[in-house]
Every structure is written in C-alpha cells, then in structure tokens.
Amino acid sequence: MKSFFVGNKARPTFLVEVNPTKKTISVYAPDQYSKDEEFYEKYSLGKVVVQGTYQHVILCQKPAAYKKALYVPELIVHMGNKYVRFSTLAQVLPSM
C-alpha cells in the first residue's frame, strides 16, 4: 500500500491510500472530530471522500519525501468513466 498526502507540506488537504495489487483507492480528509489527533491519524480517522477501484493513478509531479511521508501537490485518479483531480480541492474532470 502506498500513501500520499496531497497539497502542501505544511497543511495537506487529503490523504490518499493506494493499493496497487487490488487496484483500490481510499481518500481521506480531516473532519471536526479528528482535528485534534496526531498528524496521520487526523486524516485516517477523518471522513472518507472517495473509496473504490481505479484504472490509473496519475501523479502530476514526482512525490517528495518529507518526515517519513510522501507529498504531491496534485493527483488525478481515473475511476470508471470519470477522472477525479485532488489538489487543494476535489474536482471531477470531464472524461477524455
């Protein structure tokens, strides 16, 4: 399983967990109940934004390692017949 924080290093917006063997993805964002938890738990115990299977995960830049975590400013996921872009907000892109 690979985990990426999406956004800037100081305050990422999403935690994306990708399981390449099962082709599943889970995207988490902190919520009002998990805001006082430690850094990783703030996201993993927060709300689930997207969960399901994917065809492709597109990293817009090479992930940067910082304090035992990988950070990317933007990530695009091809799920079914749509593309979902995660950066500072989640956005459904028109299919190509």
Output the 3-class SS for the chain. CEEEEEECCCCEEEEEEEECCCCEEEEEECCCCCCCCCHHHHHHCCEEEEEEECCEEEECCCCEEECCEEEECCEEEEECCEEEEECCCEEEECCC
* Six token digits for residue 19: 């399981």
Give CA–CA dist 66/69, Å, rounded: 5
Q: What is the pLDDT of residue 91?
A: 77
Q: What is the pLDDT of residue 95?
A: 64
Tens-digit pLDDT profile for residues 37-76: 888 889 889 999 999 999 999 998 898 888 778 999 999 9
Q: What is the pLDDT of residue 15?
A: 93
Contact 72, 63 (CB under 8 A): yes
Tens-digit pLDDT profile for residues 11-47: 889 999 999 999 999 999 999 888 888 888 898 899 9
